[in-house]
Chains A and B, each alone.
Chain A
């Protein structure tokens, strides 16, 4: 029991009441969170733990590099596709394969549709219940709700008082049945919910509308990738050949009918994001703009790799339409370049993770990464090895490693991208951010908060919706200019490959910067390492005691009721955690872990 100062500026005090949230729900995968609150219910210590792992990297060893995308795609079915894209880029980088322009446009449309779908589903179906109280919606006046809808989202056609009355009636009967389903045991009497009933009713209505609409957003990926979840990808391009007016075009993957379908989806997606999602963020934000907790590392240390190459095969920052760079120590005046090949930049540490290194004071670059499991609980753990009551954060306490950029704990994700973009003066991002701040009447500092993270995600969905259209037009123009090529198969045959190569591929996944490092030897995978967004954000303490982004974001937050973790969920959810992603790693031989002893 003590107070510790971390090098990255936090004062950790674990003397107060310990609050444990396990499982943290409405996330992908499994996670645990423990905090200590002081006598005023303010969080003074935070511990976040990844509670699952699966071992995909070791499973990849010895496999065909052309198959790797399918394995790593199964790291996560929520950000489905982004690992696959990262993987084919890593293999193409290693083998120096260039892809056709059409493949670049199609990949970008698929990746952007993921950003939109993921952000929208995250907000409405994973995150909204942290802000919105469906039970309170029963008290709303449908007429006033209609007026609110017209005032905030005037272009959304579903706005009549009768419409909201119908939804309210359906909701009322659902609640009265006593079978609350997913809403059961929510914290519906907690004073942390601040919306008036009309805003709650509007938001619940859009929860249902978004659940219906989301299935349409990703159908662009069904057209180009054959199915969703988990569409198909290809090293060297995309598998969907184009045949506009040739023989048998009707049975070709891409023809006029297929492209018309995509065009329609892209337009309807823009409409929904602009007329429902963005107005909801402004409306909800206007009631919560006094609740600006949760900034954590976002105003200090943020990292983005960049994504969405405008021209094919050029991954340099100036050709990437999503920003790349690092900001440290809160110095927004300087955005530092990021090099994923530099052994001194991205490194992973394990002194507080359930893995061991020969020398745990040092970090390792992913090309030289070691993943040897070592599930050991600290001496101050309360409970047993298979029934943990309380973790000991001074020892190892998570299945997540601690990645650092030049030694700094970093936040990644939509807010990190928007902070980097804003600092660089990215015109579209700056415009979006300034307009949102003005609409809410808050200063730039408000961006560095839980609410800012949630707002940045919505703005990015809007940006992505328009960029989908940009790349669709680009695709059409290129086909019109006579280029129907979709794949470069020159080096598809492994017999054409050099004996030993290595490569790195990166994307901006919905949750943040993502990279895969691969070594290929004798046409097989020799080593494969992924450092994923939730590894950055959900990282435990490192060798120097720096806390990670989740932990930092919870610090100094006031909770209304310690036994009802609304505020903890709200802030953790604002990162859109993806635990299957962060904890996919495993030891080289898959050996069983040592028996855990609580000392």
Chain B
């Protein structure tokens, strides 16, 4: 473990030039200015690779699928040159006992010094046997690996919140990582979303490796850099919300003009994620741009917060709906009023959610 990222990347045929380009892209994707690129380069040149055990519980593998879609850095470069992905049952060559031996070997060699990446969650019902690894409950493998790790990354909404298998009535008692009874007290970083955005996943890894620390987390344990604003806050359709211009039904005139999807159920106003800024698949699009309301997939318990096509206010009643309905018909005339009304509603909403949670 004396090799640095830079040495490894160079040895593996990555040129100095593309290495520096990679550093500046990393700086950009982390929302840092260009002046940070040399700092990242310096870190990569002097710091060693870190082993990662990537475990899978009850899940659908959408997080792994998202991860391999990362445009910058490429998944290939993360796996070959940045981390040492020693265990990941979705892609590893070894199976059975040869696979399980790797976990023990990693614990022996890197006790307290590897990252535990969790995709999915363990079920607690049925003695844990509705998720079996090597004849035993997944819960055991998870707790064992957690005992010896440096820190835990909870990938996606399953590991972070429970997600679909934990939706009412949660038949298997699927339990998010931070709530697993008896789990060693290790730092946990949640990267929610179903799945999380690929470039957010790789940026979180890169940040940890580069700065040798977790990014700053919010009260819920999510990196502030990607989860501190609502999708609604930076949505390109936001001006239509402010102007009272709404899609009333799918494929109507408003839908074709890219009006606001709030009235057909958009959860953007209550969802904290980077979809409207980082966007998806190399910045290509995001659900709202493709005409579907946000379903709030990075929020805790989003499956049980009412229908995806029901207006938010039907559930939460924070008072936007009255404005939206009133303004829909006379949009052009009352743009200023709408914006003001919205600002006031947003302020109230902020105050309420702060008051409720702090």
Task: Show the binding face of A for B, using Cβ within 8 Å.
Answer: 20-30, 32, 51-56, 58-59, 63-64, 66-67, 70-71, 74-78, 80, 121, 125-126, 129, 166-167, 169-170, 173-174, 177, 179, 181-187, 208, 211-212, 214-215, 218-219, 222-232, 234, 236-243, 246-248, 251-253, 261, 373, 375, 383, 385-389, 399, 484-487, 489, 492, 564-565, 569, 580, 586-587, 589-590, 592-593, 595-596
Determine whether the beta carbon of B11 is less than 8 Å from that of A173.
yes
Q: Which of B80, B128, B171, B280 contacts A170 (CB 8 A)?
A: B80
Q: How many A-B residue pairs have CB under 8 A?
A: 338
| Binary A-proximity of B135-176 (CB < 8 A = 1, otherwise 0) | 111101000000000000000000000011101111110100
Count of interface residues, chain B, beta-carbon cutoff 8 Å: 103
The 13 sampled A-B contact pairs (Cβ below 8 Å) are: A20-B135, A26-B89, A26-B95, A28-B60, A51-B132, A67-B308, A74-B163, A78-B65, A182-B91, A232-B290, A252-B258, A383-B135, A489-B251
Given A184-B86, A373-B126, 4 more contacts at CB 8 Å?
A125-B68, A179-B51, A186-B94, A225-B287
B125 within 8 A of partner (CB): yes
- Contacts A186-B94, A241-B256: A30 and B131 contacting too (C-beta < 8 A)? yes
Determine whether the beta carbon of B256 is less than 8 Å from that of A246.
yes
- Contacts A185-B101, A229-B69, A489-B250: A386 and B96 contacting too (C-beta < 8 A)? no
The 7 closest A-B pairs by CB, nearest first: A77-B62, A590-B171, A251-B258, A226-B290, A226-B287, A186-B93, A55-B171
Most B CB atoms within 10 A — which of A25, A75, A385, A399? A25
In whole Å, how far is A357's beta carbon from the nearest beta carbon of chain B?
18
Task: Show the binding face of B for A, using Cβ within 8 Å.
Answer: 3, 8, 11-13, 49, 51, 56, 58-66, 68-71, 74-76, 79-80, 83-86, 88-96, 98-102, 123, 125-138, 140, 163-165, 167-172, 174, 194-195, 197-198, 236-237, 249-252, 255-258, 275, 280-282, 284-292, 295, 297, 303, 307-309
Q: Which of A185, A222, A232 contacts B99 (CB 8 A)?
A: A185
Most B CB atoms within 10 A — which of A28, A30, A173? A30
Determine whether the beta carbon of A241 is less than 8 Å from that of B251.
yes
Q: Which residues of B contact A238 (CB under 8 A)?
A: 291
Determine whether the beta carbon of A237 is less than 8 Å from that of B62.
no
Q: Which of A183, A219, A586 contacts B284 (CB 8 A)?
A: A219
Nearest B residue (CB) for A74: B164
- Whole-angstrom CA separation of A225 from B135 in the bound complex: 39
Determine whether the beta carbon of A222 is less than 8 Å from that of B126.
no
- Contacts A125-B91, A227-B285: A32 and B132 contacting too (C-beta < 8 A)? yes
In whole Å, how far is B185's beta carbon from the nearest beta carbon of chain A?
24
- Contacts A77-B65, A248-B258: A212 and B74 contacting too (C-beta < 8 A)? yes
Determine whether the beta carbon of A181 is less than 8 Å from that of B79.
yes
- Contacts A71-B167, A186-B94: A23 and B89 contacting too (C-beta < 8 A)? yes
- Contacts A54-B58, A59-B165, A386-B136: A184 and B102 contacting too (C-beta < 8 A)? yes
Determine whether the beta carbon of A21 is less than 8 Å from that of B96.
yes
Q: Which of A182, A186, A252 contacts B79 (CB 8 A)?
A: A182
Determine whether the beta carbon of A169 is less than 8 Å from that of B90.
no
- Whole-angstrom CA separation of A589 from B168 in the bound complex: 11
Determine whether the beta carbon of A243 is less than 8 Å from that of B195.
no
- Whole-angstrom CA separation of A3 from B95 in the bound complex: 29
In whole Å, how far is A85's beta carbon from the nearest beta carbon of chain B?
14
Determine whether the beta carbon of B292 is less than 8 Å from that of A25.
no
Q: Which of B13, B85, B163, B275 contacts A166 (CB 8 A)?
A: B13
Nearest A residue (CB) for B99: A25
- Whole-angstrom CA separation of A231 from B62 in the bound complex: 11
In whole Å, how far is B217's beta carbon from the nearest beta carbon of chain A?
24
Determine whether the beta carbon of B58 is less than 8 Å from that of A389.
no
Determine whether the beta carbon of B133 is less than 8 Å from that of A174.
no
In whole Å, how far is B45's beta carbon from the nearest beta carbon of chain A?
17
Main secondary structure of the interface of B (DSSP, over half): loop
Most A CB atoms within 10 A — which of B49, B63, B125? B125
- Whole-angstrom CA separation of A78 from B119 in the bound complex: 14
- Whole-angstrom CA separation of A453 from B106 in the bound complex: 36
Q: Which residues of A contact B170 (CB under 8 A)?
A: 59, 590
Q: Which residues of A contact B174 (CB under 8 A)?
A: 54
Determine whether the beta carbon of B257 is less than 8 Å from that of A185.
no
- Whole-angstrom CA separation of A202 from B203 in the bound complex: 31
Q: Which residues of B contact A399 (CB under 8 A)?
A: 130
Q: Which residues of A contact B171 (CB under 8 A)?
A: 54-55, 58-59, 586-587, 590
Determine whether the beta carbon of B256 is less than 8 Å from that of A243.
yes
- Whole-angstrom CA separation of A70 from B292 in the bound complex: 12
Q: Which of B167, B195, B275 contacts A230 (CB 8 A)?
A: B195
- Contacts A24-B96, A222-B284: A214 and B68 contacting too (C-beta < 8 A)? yes
Q: Which residues of A contact B75 (CB under 8 A)?
A: 211, 215
Nearest B residue (CB) for A484: B256
Q: Which residues of A contact B292 (CB under 8 A)?
A: 225-226, 232, 234, 239-240
- Whole-angstrom CA separation of A389 from B97 in the bound complex: 12
Q: Which residues of A contact B64 (CB under 8 A)?
A: 77
